[in-house]
């Protein structure tokens, strides 16, 4: 696997100066691929009540625990629902119902419309909409990485939670395209063309997926952002920008947890649960 990745980087290194258009087509295809992820819970937890919804006729699976106002846990790109299980027991003990799910082409869910290992944020957003329709209005959502962008997309469609917690959010996809380019070994000639291809595919610019602008478009709920200072996947600058744009937001920073350990750190979990526990509406 490492050898193949090395060959991929080498190929992109050649395509960058010689054939950036070819490189951008390849890069755009890779952009929509989901990296392989585990299906194990992040922390040991008794199985919840399983459920299934359909998105474009394809099966999306999840679990729920407890009863009460609903808190949805939304994984990021390449993640899975039970990746956020550290939050389940503390929330259930406070009287919340907690719902997780695997997005299309993730975890136990069926592939999306583009086939195995491929999906889009639009498809993930549709899955969240169907899960909310199944389990009821969201009191709060706790979302990781690109899951935060999925939540924001649904807010633009009318989702109105009382509380939001974003963990290492992908506040804007443009920095993520730069991280993606560094990872695969290509530069700005391919990256800029790749971005134009993606924008052409959906008929919108990357700005359409930016979370900070949501606060200027509509009333937004209180927000807690937790971000590690050394996150190599989603730079903390995105979390800082998001908090500056949001009228009622707070940033908690960590050091040394990176992009994934932040999901199971006891202090992070306690901070998020304490933020969510504010007396829900009746």
Is residue 213 over pLDDT 90? yes
pLDDT tens column, 76-128: 999 999 999 999 999 999 999 999 999 999 999 999 998 999 999 999 999 99
Residue 106 lies in a domain: yes
Residue 45: band (very low, low, confident or very high) from pLDDT cuts 50, 70, 90: confident
Nearest CA to 167 out of 248, 245, 236 is that of 236
Does 221 fall in a domain?
yes
pLDDT at position 2, please? 64
Give, for 184, the enclosing helix (H) or strand (E): helix 173-184
Question: What CA–CA distance (Å, rounded) separates 21 from 27?
Answer: 10
Confirm whether 104 is domain-assigned. Answer: yes
- 59 burial via Cβ count (<10 Å: 0-12, 13-18, 19+): middle
Distance, in Å, from the CA atom of 77 to the CA atom of 35, rounded to the nearest integer, reads 8
Q: Measured between alpha carbons, how far is 32 from 177 in angstroms, rounded to an integer?
A: 12
Q: Is residue 271 part of a domain?
A: yes
The string of DSSP letters for 60-110 reads EEEEEESSSSEEEEE--TT--GGGGGGGHHHHHHTT-EEEEEPPTTSTTSP
The two tokens of residue 117 are 């290992």
Average of pLDDT values for 210-225?
Answer: 95
pLDDT at 281 over 60: no
Q: Name the one residue in this structure whose structure tokens are 């933020």.
A: 275
The predicted pLDDT at position 173 comes to 92
* Domain around 269: 32-172+210-276
| d(C-alpha 61, C-alpha 130), whole Å | 11
The pTM for the full model equals: 0.94
Residue 279: pLDDT above 70?
no
Residue 108 included in any domain: yes
* Residue 36 pLDDT > 90: no
Q: How many residues does the chain have?
A: 282
Instruction: With a cut of 60, say whether residue 156 has pLDDT above it.
Output: yes
Residue 3 — very low, low, confident or very high, per pLDDT cuts 50/70/90?
confident
Contact 186, 23 (CB under 8 A): yes
**For the chain, what is the domain count?**
1
Band the pLDDT of 282: cuts 50, 70, 90. Answer: very low
192 part of a folded domain: no
With the C-alpha atoms ordered 222, 119, 78, 19, is the resulting torsion angle positive or negative? negative
In a domain, 142, yes or no: yes
Q: How confident is the model at residue 37 (pLDDT cuts 50, 70, 90)?
A: low
| pLDDT mean over 50-69 | 96
Segment 252-275, tens digit of pLDDT? 999 999 999 999 999 999 999 999
Residue 160 has pLDDT above 50, yes or no: yes
CATH number of the domain residue 43 falls in: 3.40.50.1820
**CA gap 5, 183 in Å, rounded:** 10
Which pLDDT belongs to residue 163? 97
Q: Is residue 242 included in any domain, yes or no?
A: yes
How far apart CA 186 and CA 191 sit, in angstroms, is 7
């Amino acid at each position: 696997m490492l050898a193949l990745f090395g060959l991929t980087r080498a190929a992109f290194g050649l395509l960058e100066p010689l054939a950036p258009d070819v490189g951008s087509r390849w890069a755009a295809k890779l952009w929509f691929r989901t990296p392989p992820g585990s299906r194990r819970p992040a922390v040991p937890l008794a199985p919840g009540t399983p459920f299934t919804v359909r998105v474009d006729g394809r099966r999306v699976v999840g679990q729920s625990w407890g009863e009460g106002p609903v808190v949805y846990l939304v994984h990021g790109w390449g993640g899975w629902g039970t990746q956020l299980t550290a939050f389940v027991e503390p929330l259930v003990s406070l009287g919340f119902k907690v719902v997780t799910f695997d997005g299309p082409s993730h975890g136990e869910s069926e592939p999306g419309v583009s086939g195995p290992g491929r999906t889009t944020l639009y498809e993930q957003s549709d899955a969240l909409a169907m899960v909310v329709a199944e389990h009821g209005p969201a009191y709060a959502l706790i979302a990781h990485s690109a899951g935060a962008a999925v939540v924001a997309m649904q807010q633009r469609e009318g989702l109105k939670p009382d509380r939001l917690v974003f963990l290492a959010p992908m506040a804007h996809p443009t920095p993520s395209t730069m991280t993606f380019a560094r990872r695969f070994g290509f530069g700005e000639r391919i990256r800029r063309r790749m971005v134009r291809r993606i924008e052409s595919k959906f008929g919108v610019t990357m700005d359409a997926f930016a979370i900070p602008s949501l606060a200027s478009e509509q009333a937004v709920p209180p927000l807690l952002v937790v971000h590690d200072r050394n996150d190599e996947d989603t730079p903390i600058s995105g979390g800082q920008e998001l908090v500056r744009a949001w009228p009622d937001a707070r940033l908690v920073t960590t050091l040394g947890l990176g992009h994934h350990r932040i999901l199971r750190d006891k202090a992070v979990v306690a901070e998020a649960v304490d933020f969510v526990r504010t007396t829900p509406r009746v």
